[in-house]
Amino acid sequence: MRTQLLTPLLALFLAIASLAGCTSATTPAPQNVKLEPATLQGQSEHWKVKVDYIVGGEDLEEITTLQFLGLEELTEASVTVGHKGQTPLTYYVESIDLLKTGQAITLGEKSKVLSWQDTEQIIIEWKVGGTQLKEYITPAKIEAAPAATPAPTSAPK
């Protein structure tokens, strides 16, 4: 009787384990990825966030700047940047007293990423007193301003 119960359970366990082993949390890096700098920006009711992607050697670094638009006094805050097919990257505001209303701060933590193009969503979590709050932002790429063309000069006569 005991063997009859254990055999199907063992088979079920092995099937689940083999299926779970076939999935991966990260996407392997493509062989010939062109590292391209970019800046993404987004805004919610309480936050404005900018994420710069800077080429550093053979890597693309993600640097986050955060601006609080609310009036409350914060007790903690964090930013999570979600990338398609990769583990989300969470950055914590280490000196919460520097995050004043309307003042932007660049977070000290940086991460290496494959591409800015797979950035899906930014989640900002913060506390005001004992209340935990969360907002979601879908960032958009900031296009570089076109270079100014110099005014034509006339040739000397």
The model's pLDDT over 75-102, given as tens digits with 9 standing for 90+, comes to 999 999 999 988 899 999 998 988 888 8
**Which pLDDT score is estimated for 126?**
96
Residue 116 in contact with residue 36, Cβ under 8 Å? yes
Contact partners, residue 37, CB within 8 Å, separation at least 6 = 52, 53, 54, 55, 60, 116
Band of residue 148 on the pLDDT scale cut at 50, 70, 90: very low
Per-residue pLDDT tens for 2-34?
555 545 544 444 344 333 333 333 344 444 557
Q: Name the residue ranges covered by the structural domains of the chain.
A: 38-141
Structure tokens given for 43? 């805004």
* Domain covering 38-141, topology: Immunoglobulin-like (2.60.40)
How high is the pLDDT of residue 34? Answer: 72
The model carries a pTM of: 0.69
Write down the pLDDT at residue 157.
53
